[in-house]
Structure 1
């Protein structure tokens, strides 16, 4: 937007044909200062932004419109309460375009729904909320009577006497609990240290298992839940069959138990032959001194050879 257009939008642009004797720029242009918001100003209606004061139910589609939702509402005066004006706000719901009318109630200092919606009632139990119930308007009016106020005070004094032992006991417990600040601080720090130690142990146990999160300690509820888990019988049978097949088979692929035993036997025999051949070659080469048993065996063989030669 140019500076000239911005000036015209803000009514700071004075055209050459304007004369101050003609009045303001709005009068010169024939428009209201509030522009579109005042398009029904001749009917006493002004367009404003209205904020819903409480939760309501839409009368058209029964949807809930939350507190704080804003609408473009038509504001107009519909009466007076003494010297205070009563204003009416008419708007359309976004859910179904239902027309909702709300008026002010200066007497009770609240907003009243006239048509198109219903206020959402949000009651609560005083005992459940742990709050005090405020006296009603009739009760406040009766308190102006001196005799009724005196009877009411007597009832309050009776309630006080009944609740006094409980209050005194609670006060004593609170005083005893907070009498020694050093002991309280010491116990709190000890509890914090034990908690940090337990968390460190749990994190270390999780790291040992290769987990990146801290595991909580096992509980009886976890054990009971795990015990209730039952796998199907077919799954368990298949698992047992596969385990038995693995235990009975060989660790080497493509070989049975009999072939494996025969191959093992052949390997052992070849190793023995290799050992015997190496020992004989060492003996012939004089690599080591023969033992007495080997010397006797050599002598006996030589004698046998000599006898055979003499016979020939």
Structure 2
């Protein structure tokens, strides 16, 4: 079902182009972004967990190995590494390791990557002549944060062990849970060996605090078409496993983000995770951390992965410029 979601979403949006343009004008946002928000409300991006049966079904799914869909291979050229099928790569546009994006995908730590992850990453790879490396980490609720950190650390060290790969050529990226993970991971890498840190990081709608206790979330919740604070809080607690939900390995907003590479955060104000992105921005100003926050009014969660909307195209153009200017 997760691979049909992209097609369903696009079909719903296509059917909705008869939507009154005046509504979009009144809301001061693009018509397509308004349509996509309505479509996401209708299609329920995240499966609800309302019963023991729902939970057991998702638990069983998290125990299954990931298989890269054939249509993703054919359409975008992604391949599983022959020596480690838990790492997905796209190397069609880059063969000199001069520009690498090490990407951790979102999905509340419970879900596998979906079509829009691959479409966005293919676009960035083509625009940047970059290589994409994406570890498919073990999923909650069957697996927990320590296992995820171990797997991604091993994947990153495997990448660095390749000839010609240097940390200064690597950009960390991630969306939602993956964005939060990348911040936690950088804090961990700094403490292990600062020489392992990448050149910079770009976090898309990052999940920085799985406790979801920021009081500003309540005011945003009615505006968010995708996320429900109570459900993602539950998912975050299960992901934490033996760790406290406030452990920086789980919720990096409670950690120290000093002496990290430059970080760019992309966030929309109709995303409940915007509350903590804004709080992180304030912490960065207070502690002089190298963080730049790009705030998009009325944009939903991980809007950058939806390049059919102009605001997403704008954000991707900004990301390309950030990475190119860093060279």
Please, what TM-score do these two structures have when normalized by structure 2? 0.16
More helix by share: 1
Relative contact order (alpha carbons < 8 A, sep ≥ 6): 1 or 2 greater?
2
Which of structures 1 and 2 has the bigger CA Rg?
A: 1
Please, what TM-score do these two structures have when normalized by structure 1? 0.16
